[in-house]
Structure 1
Amino acid sequence: MSFKQFLLAGAWIASTALYSELSAAEVSARAVPLSTEQARALDVRFGPIAASENLEVGTHARVIFTPDAQYVVAAPYAGMVQRVLVSVGQTVRAGQALAIFVSPQLYEASRALTEANSQARVAQQSLARDKALYDDGIIAASRWEATQARAAEAGAMARARRAELASAGITFTGPGGEAQLMASRGGIVAEVNAIPGMRVDSATPLFKIVDPAALELDMLVGRDVPVPSAGERVTVPQRGASGTVIGVAPSGDGTAGVRVRASLAKRGDLRAGESVGVTLTLRGTGSSGASRVRVPAAALAYVQGSPGVFVATDKGFRFQAVTVDSTDEASAVVRGNLPAGTRVAVSGIGALKGLLAGEQ
């Protein structure tokens, strides 16, 4: 048996005998001496880490529309689409006519509005006349109050009829008073479900209009990527797009991942529906003040089930407990008391665990 094998065997025996009596906090409180000769014999090597203000990690995202980017123009009443005035892919502005729509209910609503406007106008005339009579003392206060009430009721009815037609998105134009179905917002026509002559029920979707610039990023972040926080930066370097994280929620599909949404301050040349590579810029210091750094996966060690790294000291090493944000085959992102310039063990981890237990 070589000297190196002898030391490793002794370290393993010591660790198995004493670890059951130690806590991670007790182990972290001790510094263990390690000479240059011991480190060489045990193949222990330390490497520096670079704690920085920001940590960049890569992942993938799907480009989707924001919740308010799409809206549907539906039939306000049961009726018939007489003509279709737009086609798929056409850009429309707010207030532009999409179709000519006819319906018995629509014309009944128009008649009711005309009647309400007429009654409101007569009520206003009566209000002006009775005001003059009341000021001259010719009519009693009770009649003046009744006239005011009738005028208020007539005005409210006219406003209600106007609101009904406005919510229907209908405008009457032309000498024949054609009823035109209007776009309430501008955008691109994504769907046309109307055919001239087609009879439809009330609330049947006829057109879908989208705002092509209202995009955001949807990311499913797994264990191999640290979970970002709201406000952290997201970029799509190859496409000239950037934004910030606006929300993090459980994925809801039974996996360990989380779903992350990011708004876009710069849209670049992104298009809805495509998948792109993104870079998350994570703050190097978390809310607890602990530095977030990347270390080789081999540097992670577990003492009493608690993760940590072995940090080089002037005369040896000590165990530093950390919180693991994510791991993959090559590296791990951790948070802990690891300032810039700290050197951690990247090989000989088993031997250091044994020496640490033996020292205790």
Structure 2
Amino acid sequence: MTKKDNINELIVKKLTDTINEEDNERLNNKLDKHKSTARSYSVIETFWRSYFPKSKKHSIIQQTEKKLGFTYQKSPKTSKWKWVGIAATLLLIISMAFSIHYLIEKSKAPTLNQYSCSAEEIKEITLSDGTKVWLNSSSLLIASEPFIGIKREVTLFGEAYFEVAPNPEKPFIIETSNLKTKVLGTHFNVVAYPTDDIHEISLYEGKVQLNPNTNNNTAILNPGDRAYYNVNTGKMKLLHTDLGKPAQWRDGILRFYDEDLFSISKKLERHFETRIFITDSVTGNMKYSGEFEEESLERILELLSVAKTFEYKINNNGIIIESKK
């Protein structure tokens, strides 16, 4: 086992809380001796703790899950693929972090920058090439700047809207846990939260090429196209539709267009930093369209429940949604 593989293994154990005292001491010693490695680990840990915080034991929601079985989303197959995706995401971050670390040490020029947003936060940044990026809540963008070589490459976990500075000789590439998006100069939105089963790319201007990491298939998007990539099946669906105003979330607007409640609940969880549990698939698959600006979570739930009948209960551990009896 190489030194790189060894420390990767220790980091995985540390983040998944399976590390023993001896290995934990070994990891701490390595981080103390190698400050650059410690900085890379800090990037990885920031991401992991943001998306996979330690769950509270004996919460009302966990008790409800156990009582109801919660089988519609947690079948053995779904659980398996979910954790495979999580592991792949983690290894991607580790590999990227160490690759950039090597690049920095070798060239002494670029700097590893990480841009992140907490829940209920939206951040606008300008990269070294002039590309403008808006990060949505609970998102992380990593870039080695200034860009060197024949391409501009960043890694995204979450949602971001890009206005890429044109440069035909140096394509701009966004890496996510499952997709690679290649552009020359364009405006588009990427939704690629590691905990979501469906990733989305919406193109408003220009042209982009999508390359799934799991196969050799590619897709070309033109303005007005939206791509849906299923991380469990590896299949991609393309739709041409009215995308509306680009990335309305930048103005604090939550917009849903013909989305099921499962998908909407994930967006509400991230935006309001809470947990939402839907007790049955009939309720979860109900679809909605609408826009909400500066509305409270309870107000949004109230309006949704009026449109299609369901009940919700709010407690300190989160929200439970169920069919109206």
TM-score of the superposition, structure 2-length normalised? 0.22
Greater percentage in helix: 2
Structure with the greater alpha carbon radius of gyration: 1
Higher relative contact order (CA 8 A, sep 6+): 1
